[in-house]
Chain A
Amino acid sequence: MIEIKNVSKSYNKGQTKAVDDLSLNIRDGEIFGFLGPNGAGKTTTIKMMTGILNADSGSISLNKYDIKKDPISAKMQMGYVPDNPDIYNKLKGIEYLNFMADVYEVPSNIRRDRIKSLLERFDLLDSSDDLIQSYSHGMKQKIVVIGALINNPPVWILDEPLTGLDPKSAFTLKEMMKEHAAQGKTVFFSSHVLEVIEKLCDRIGIINKGKLVFCGTIDEINEYASGDESFEKIFLEMTEK
């Protein structure tokens, strides 16, 4: 469960408002899609949720743990896939995964099974003993996804997770999101790909210029439409104001 209450964030001493009084409630067992044009405030929101950035005001809690007041407990609840998979080029894939398992306190026997099955699922078993530097963009994305799943987190936060993935891996990841939600866990992900959001998400939030302009189910968004407008057209109308 993720609770975001009246969160704001600005840059340049308040001159640029990146996120403006945002409130969201994402329930257990839900896949929530976060949409918005470039520079709308998606990544800033996600960075505040993960503790990378501090919110100027408001509060964020992951599974009831406040990210500011109890950061370590809150972070233990989540797995995070950043928008840029450039991580620790000079570590081997297996070393990176073990580092993540160590910091998320995953017991040895469990981590071994989990690492092996995830590496197999993402076709990385043969590259895990190589430096991440030798990976393609998609392979890096996959190793980061595995790192974010290593602790089987109750809350999964993914920033543009499908970028750079080949069709098979993209399919696998989408399946995993569904499985995750089916286990009663929360999936929060941002994307530009409207079709994916439309097909995958239980609910969506649309952010524009730092403000939440819509939050609801796909059916609800279609009620906004006049006639049989496509999701794409509705999205464009909402974010061009």
Chain B
Amino acid sequence: MKKTIALFKIMLDSTYGISSFKYKASKNHMEVLKFIGLMLILVVSLSPMLLGYIVYIESSYKGLQSYGAQGAVITLGVVLSSTLILILGLFYVISTFYFTSDMEHLITLPLRPAQILGAKFGVVLVSEYITELFIVLPPIIIYGIGEGAGVLYWIYALIGILIIPVIPLCIISMIAIVVMRVTNIGKKRDLYRTIGSLVVIFALMGIQFYIQNVAERGGIQKISNMLFSESGLINVIASAYPPAAWISKALIQSNGINGLVMLLFFLAASAVFLILFEYLGEKFFTGGYMGSGSVEAKRKRITDQKFVKETASKSKVMAVFWREFNILNRVPVFFINNVFIIVMVPFMFLMMYFLSPGEEMNELVNIIRAPRGIYIASLVAAGIAIFTAAANMTPSTSLSREGAQFFVSKYIPVSPHDQILGKVLHSFALISVGDLLASFTVGFIIRLPLIHLLTSFLISAAASWAIIEIGLMIDLTRPLLVWDNPQKAVKQNLNGVISMFFNALWPGLSLFATGRLISNPVFGYTLLLVLFLALDIIMYKVLMSYAQKRYADIEP
């Protein structure tokens, strides 16, 4: 345990750059201000979403109060945060467990696999707390204050917050260990692993949709019958995930013995999962890791035909484009977070379409049949496509992904203009495919006429070009070039988060305002297109002159 804790401390330090921040701050006090500024930007960009969530929880709380079922808001928070960890955590866990550069060193030290895994689990757990707090804290506070809860409630809440991510994280970690062990075969393990993990994610999403669907179809009647007991609704929501019910009941009944029993149930279940995880880790971790870094090497002379093809000459811009393209597609973490994500949104919509009851879809189709329906629906389709573009971190992590290799970009004779243009074109090639998939999927579901469908795609593509430029501006401002795990360059890079929220905001507002203020579709579409294209041009100029300055200033 001592070794695990020592290892955990060092890993936490290097993951969050605590020592390096302290060092920089001691040399330059501006670093502290920069950090505070960054946090403020983050809070501001997250606040609309957080505020919306708080309002939703508050109104649910009040709504459920009349049935005496207000405790369900806590269950909702627990289930939501657990689901997020389950669906989004797999790649984070895999890359932290297996792909950090410290692994080669750690494996040579006299440590048991479970000790290395334990420390790494701790690091992942800490970062999950950050997401969890945003989701679990609002219902706990709203319920606690609303009910005038006692001291025990807040103590149980604190314990609950610390333990809630443990079970989902154990589940995802065990899946990761098994996937990595099973796929650690042959020379194409990178490919097997990517496919294996995608299958798991799709399966988890499928199960999630299925449960949701069954719960909804279980009949409003059935649910409302149960609403009249305080934990009736909790039982319905948490039937698929009992620990969520236990911790909710522990909090709701914190003033009685029943609360304590429920808390103990929850703690015991978490402990069982931890033990299972440790057992599996000890048994399979090393087997899954060994040889992870090695890749297929044919060591076969290249054919003349292929040699000629591979050595065809390209412009500098296209050389950068293809470098970006190859690296993004070949690093599994980059591929999943940047390329795969473009099929995620359409997939989710299709899933909803095929799993939802027919009458809901009919309602949607009816909306379109209403006056101005097609126009508004087209704007919504464009909005969804734009959101997939904003959520794509390819541009906003473009320099960060170069990491330690950024020095190459500094010494090659390619101007910042050409390098950035290569990156813009690469991001656009990818994101416009995402726009196309998203707008056509949504268009198909709500049966949008082709001309409107094409228009919404064009609007989203025009907005995407500016989104890419803004994303690159953000990454140019603070590129994250020091990382030991590719996950840090994309998934844990604040640039991606800032870009996502900011880039979802301005096009969203433009679409909303246009839909509200302009009733003529032709005029509305034209205005949006002109507006976005003008922004594309202005931002292009701003970005290029900024890149000229930043490429000179950034010293890797």
Q: Taking beta carbons and an 8 Å cutoff, which residues of A are in contact with B?
A: 12-13, 15, 47, 50-54, 71-73, 75-76, 80, 82, 86-88, 90-92, 94-95, 97-108, 111-112, 115-116, 125-131, 133-134
Contact = CB atoms under 8 A, between A and B. Distances in A.
Interface of B: 27-28, 293-302, 306-308, 310-316, 318-319, 322-323, 326-327, 330-331, 404-405, 407-408, 410-415, 552-553, 555-556
B300 A126 contact: yes
A109 to B, nearest CB: 9
Contact of B295 (A95, A105, A131): A131
A50 B298 contact: no
Given A102-B313, A129-B310, 7 more contacts: A95-B326, A103-B413, A107-B313, A115-B311, A126-B299, A130-B298, A131-B330
A12 B555 CA distance: 13
Contacts of B322: 95, 99
Contacts, number: 117
A219 B427 CA distance: 57
Rank and list the top 8 A-B pairs by shortest CB-CB distance, nearest first. Answer: A102-B319, A75-B413, A134-B297, A90-B330, A129-B302, A50-B411, A52-B410, A108-B313
A129 B297 CA distance: 9
Contacts of A50: 410-411
A93 to B, nearest CB: 9
A127 B413 contact: no
Nearest to A104: B413
Nearest to A11: B27
B410 A51 contact: yes
A125 B319 contact: no
A134 B295 contact: yes
Contacts of A102: 313-316, 318-319
A102 B322 CA distance: 11
Contacts of B411: 50-52, 75, 80
A99 B27 contact: no
Most chain B Cβ neighbours within 10 Å, of A100, A103, A127: A103
Contact of A90 (B327, B404, B414): B327
Contacts of B293: 133
A112 B310 CA distance: 10
Nearest to B317: A102
B307 A116 contact: yes
Contacts of B297: 127, 130-131, 134
16 contacts: A51-B410, A73-B413, A86-B404, A88-B327, A88-B405, A91-B326, A94-B307, A98-B310, A99-B319, A101-B311, A107-B313, A112-B311, A127-B299, A129-B301, A130-B297, A134-B297
Contacts of A12: 27-28
Contacts of A106: 313
Contact of B556 (A15, A52, A97, A125): A52
B301 A125 contact: yes
Contact of A13 (B28, B302, B327): B28
Contacts of B553: 54
Contacts of B327: 88, 90-91
Contact of B27 (A13, A53, A73, A91): A13
Contacts of A134: 294-297
A2 to B, nearest CB: 15
Most chain A Cβ neighbours within 10 Å, of B323, B326, B413: B413
B400 to A, nearest CB: 16
Nearest to A46: B411
